[in-house]
């Protein structure tokens, strides 16, 4: 074991140029912690929010929220992992853009032998997000129709497959015909190119004027009003991201006027804060992948030292599927 590991750190918020690769202290795990040596690290839009300061962090701060690798050491009280185990995680504590790190064991999950490290790193934050969207936020049953924005992204392609495996009709949106084709290939029943068509009008057309039961929206400001207008009466709006910027303040009376709508703003880290819940969610996700219901598509790979280029590609919406960093 070394005392330091190559780690991507920010000392100030800003553009991709603030991402610096440095030697960062690692140390030994304390009670309830593990030390893991990463084989692959995941890239997510929440990393952009942290880098830009939309989600505040204490500076300097390491970056990255998900990875997969091999457990090197465990602290007192850790019973579900041991040195040598393969593992993957999504963590509320940044630091996954690194060769190795120490973190709380509760959110680190044993990785089945049938899932390789790159897939493990690409699937945890995104896949666990899809799990809570479909299983833990509002009742969704076979035959229901949901609208999912950014359907060709890392979360979106998992959501398309999850919906198909559960008998749920998913209407996706994406910004190019190629991305729409990708969403359809992965299980979306329909996909709307929002640059060519008004997605609200198209959703109404596809649902016979009724609207959808649930909207899952990670885009934020640009799609929020249209998302509400796509819901049927008593429908549920799940706002779970801000890729285009945060949703501006709005009047609760709007929900009444548009059909007694419901709205929630969940986060993954609330759902996985409890160890038992986190491990159960991971097992459900792993089962979907091992059964073949879900295939994790990795379309971009960057060396860890090219992390700024990876962020630029993500923000420019030039990526599809998942992106990983290789330490």
Burial class (CB in 10 A: 0-12, 13-18, 19+), 1: exposed
In the chain, the percentage of residues whose pLDDT exceeds 90 is: 94
| 96 in Cβ contact with 39 (< 8 Å) | no
The CATH homologous superfamily to which domain 138-265 belongs is NAD(P)-binding Rossmann-like Domain (3.40.50.720)
Distances from the Cα of 218 to the Cαs of 60, 115, 221, 284, in angstroms?
27, 27, 9, 22
Q: What is the rounded CA–CA span in Å between residue 238 and residue 36?
A: 33
Residue 2 pLDDT: 57
Instruction: Give the pLDDT confidence of 2-49 residue by residue, as tens digits.
Output: 589 999 999 999 999 999 999 999 999 999 999 999 999 999 989 999
Q: What is the rounded CA–CA span in Å between residue 227 and residue 89?
A: 31
pLDDT for 166 beyond 90: yes
Please give the CATH number for the structural domain made up of 4-126+269-326.
3.90.180.10
- DSSP 8-state symbol, 208: T
Instruction: Kindly state the average pLDDT of the residues 246-254.
Output: 94
Instruction: Give the pLDDT confidence of 95-136 residue by residue, as tens digits.
Output: 999 999 999 999 999 999 999 999 999 999 999 999 999 999
Instruction: Tell me whether strands 86-90 and 61-62 are parallel, antiparallel or unpaired.
Output: unpaired
Q: What is the rounded CA–CA span in Å between residue 161 and residue 294?
A: 6
Mean pLDDT of the chain: 96
Phi and psi, residue 25, nearest 5°: -60, 145
CA proximity to 64, closest of 304, 321, 315: 304
Instruction: Give the pLDDT confidence of 300-315 residue by residue, as tens digits.
Output: 999 999 999 999 999 9
Q: Where in the chain is the domain with CATH 3.40.50.720?
A: 138-265
Contacts of 188 (CB under 8 A, 6+ apart): 148, 151, 160, 163, 170, 171, 172
Question: What region, left, alpha or beta, does residue 297 occupy, with left being phi > 0 and alpha being psi -120 to 50 degrees?
Answer: beta
Q: How many alpha carbons fall within 13 Å on the CB side of residue 75?
A: 16
């Amino acid at each position: 074991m070394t005392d330091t590991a190559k780690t991507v750190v920010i000392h100030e918020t800003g553009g991709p140029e603030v991402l610096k690769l440095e030697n960062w202290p690692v140390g030994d795990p304390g009670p309830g912690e593990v030390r893991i040596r990463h084989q692959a690290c995941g890239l997510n839009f929440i990393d952009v929010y942290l880098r830009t300061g939309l989600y505040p962090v204490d500076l300097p701060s390491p970056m990255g929220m998900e990875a997969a690798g091999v457990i090197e050491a465990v602290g007192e009280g850790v019973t579900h992992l041991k040195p040598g185990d393969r593992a993957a995680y999504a963590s509320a504590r940044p630091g996954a853009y690194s060769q190795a790190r120490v973190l709380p064991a509760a959110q680190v999950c044993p990785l089945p032998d049938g899932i390789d490290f790159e897939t493990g790193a690409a699937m945890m934050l995104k896949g666990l997000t899809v799990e809570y969207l479909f299983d833990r936020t509002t009742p969704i049953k076979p035959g229901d129709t949901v609208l999912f924005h950014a359907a060709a992204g890392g979360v979106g392609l998992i959501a398309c497959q999850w919906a198909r495996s559960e008998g749920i009709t998913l209407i996706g949106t994406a910004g190019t015909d190629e991305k729409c084709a990708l969403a359809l290939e992965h299980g979306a029943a329909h996909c709307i190119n929002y640059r060519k068509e008004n997605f609200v009008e198209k959703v109404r057309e596809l649902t016979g004027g009724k609207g959808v039961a649930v909207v899952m929206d990670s885009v934020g400001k640009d799609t929020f009003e249209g998302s509400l207008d796509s819901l049927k009466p008593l429908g549920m709006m799940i706002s779970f991201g801000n890729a285009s910027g945060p949703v501006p303040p709005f009047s609760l009376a709007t929900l009444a006027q548009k059909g007694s709508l419901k709205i929630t703003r969940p986060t993954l880290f609330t759902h996985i804060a409890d160890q038992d819940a986190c491990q159960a969610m991971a097992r459900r996700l792993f089962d979907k992948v091992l059964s073949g219901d879900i295939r994790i598509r990795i379309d971009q790979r960057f060396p860890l030292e090219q992390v700024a280029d990876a962020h630029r590609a993500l923000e420019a919406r030039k990526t599809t599927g998942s992106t990983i960093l290789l330490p």
